[in-house]
């Protein structure tokens, strides 16, 4: 069994394993490099236990007395090539942006708008990661996961995952039941369908004098926008958007629009309206505010930050205060997107 487990640590600091840079420890941290290693270790894990990818969407509130399984299964493979499509697979531990760059380098379309999202392939279906008008559900084919209770491998197809806005079955009905080990994507061969609806992408391409963009141009534009706007976790601890953008019904939106005619809004196909949580938070006066070593980012109020030595509990307390001010001002209860590890 031991030869299958790559690295095993006792009382390991998790500070370098979460992009908030929170200091907390794990009783055991086991790095998993293969499905066989995962199946071998599952019967012996200590509870409470957690599954860790790149740690870019978690907030650690306490030390973890049990086991943390760090998913490091490698491998990117072109599985099958058809006239118009290519099936690509990647191990759960593959860095997400590396997968995007692999696709762009091989002129495979569909992932380019998702450039520079931190984290791993294995975590990408958890919240159906999305950015700049694309979600992984648009290119997802299937995934392989190990059932925690039995150690058995199971294949999940797209329709089984109940993908929604920053949501999937793994955040609801199957929460804590499976560990994702591999994901398959269906990508396009040229000519690609380009997704240019987000204004910022159009602006960058226009400024660069690009009229007929390639998927590489889109990837480069997204990298440029993100690098300029979002804080780099290597410089300021953060986990991206702390809350989801709320989607409200037409009635509540109409009332808000009367009161705040300038409110940015994005009508959805089902008649509901998506509102940018960052704007709501900014209107409550939180943008760029700092309390101790916690705060909201100066360029994007939706991103909560750790300026150095903030604890998970301090960041959580700030999030609760922000949620309460938005609720009082707009009658909207923001939902936390970041996974809280108690």
Residues identified as active-site: 166, 241, 337
Given ligand FAD, ligand NAP, none, residue 197, with its beta carbon under 5 to 8 Å by kind, binds ligand NAP
CB of residue 100 vs ligand FAD: minimum separation in angstroms?
Answer: 12
- Minimum CB separation of residue 232 from ligand NAP in Å reads 12
Considering only residues 183-222, where is the footprint of ligand NAP by CB under 6 A? 197-198, 200
230 binds ligand NAP, rule: CB under 6 A: yes
Q: Which does 71 bind (CB under 5 to 8 A by kind): ligand NAP, ligand FAD, none?
A: ligand FAD
> 157, 164 in Cβ contact below 8 A?
no
Strands (E), the chain: 7-13, 25-32, 50-52, 58-60, 64-71, 76-81, 85-91, 130-131, 134-135, 140-147, 153-157, 178-188, 237-241, 247-248, 266-267, 273-274, 290-291, 294-296, 303-306, 339-341
Q: Would you tell me how many other CB atoms lie within 10 Å of the CB of residue 287?
A: 18
Query: CB 116 → ligand NAP: shortest distance, Å?
Result: 9
Strands 290-291 and 294-296: antiparallel
Binding mask 128-167 for ligand NAP (x = CB under 6 A): --xxx-----------------------------------
Question: Quick one: which segment of 22-30, 125-133, 147-155, 328-336 binds ligand NAP (CB under 6 A)?
Answer: 125-133
Q: Which residues contact 86 (CB under 8 A, 6 or more apart)?
A: 78, 80, 106, 108, 186, 187, 188, 189
Within a 10 A sphere around the Cβ of 62, how many other Cβ atoms?
Answer: 14
Distance of alpha carbon 213 from alpha carbon 203, whole angstroms:
12
Residue 294-323 contact track with ligand NAP, rule CB under 6 A, x = bound: ------x-----------------------
Size of the site for ligand NAP (CB under 6 A): 17
Q: By CB under 6 A, name the binding residues for ligand NAP.
A: 130-132, 197-198, 200, 229-230, 240-241, 245, 266, 274, 276, 278, 300, 337
């Amino acid at each position: 069994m031991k030869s299958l487990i790559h690295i095993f640590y006792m009382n390991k600091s998790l500070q370098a394993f979460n992009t908030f840079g929170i200091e907390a420890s794990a009783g055991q941290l086991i790095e998993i490099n293969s499905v066989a290693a995962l199946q071998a270790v599952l019967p012996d894990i200590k509870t409470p236990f957690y599954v860790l990818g790149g740690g870019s969407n978690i907030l650690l509130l306490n030390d973890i007395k049990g086991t943390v399984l760090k998913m490091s299964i490698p491998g990117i493979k072109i599985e099958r090539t058809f006239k118009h499509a290519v099936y690509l697979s990647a191990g759960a531990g593959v860095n997400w942006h590396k997968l995007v760059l692999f696709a762009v380098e091989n002129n495979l379309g569909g992932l380019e708008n998702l450039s520079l999202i931190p984290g791993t392939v294995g975590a990408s279906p958890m919240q159906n990661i999305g950015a700049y008008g694309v979600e992984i559900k648009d290119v997802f084919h299937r995934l392989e996961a190990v059932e925690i209770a039995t150690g058995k491998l199971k294949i999940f197809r797209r329709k089984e995952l109940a993908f929604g806005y920053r949501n999937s079955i793994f955040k609801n009905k199957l929460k804590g039941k499976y560990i994702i080990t591999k994901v398959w994507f269906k990508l396009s061969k040229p000519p690609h369908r380009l997704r240019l609806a987000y204004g910022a992408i159009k602006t960058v391409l226009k400024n660069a004098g690009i009229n007929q963009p390639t998927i590489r141009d889109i990837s480069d534009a997204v990298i440029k926008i993100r690098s300029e706007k979002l804080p780099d976790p290597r410089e300021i601890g953060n986990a991206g958007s702390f809350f989801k953008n709320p989607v409200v019904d037409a009635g509540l939106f109409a009332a808000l629009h009367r009161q705040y005619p300038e409110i940015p809004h994005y009508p959805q196909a089902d008649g509901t309206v998506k509102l940018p949580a960052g704007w709501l938070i900014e209107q409550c006066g939180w943008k760029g505010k700092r309390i101790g070593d916690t705060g909201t980012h100066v360029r994007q109020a939706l991103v909560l930050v750790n300026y150095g030595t903030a604890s998970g509990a301090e960041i959580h307390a700030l999030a609760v205060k922000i949620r309460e001010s938005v609720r009082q001002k707009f009658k909207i209860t923001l939902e936390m997107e970041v996974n809280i590890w108690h």
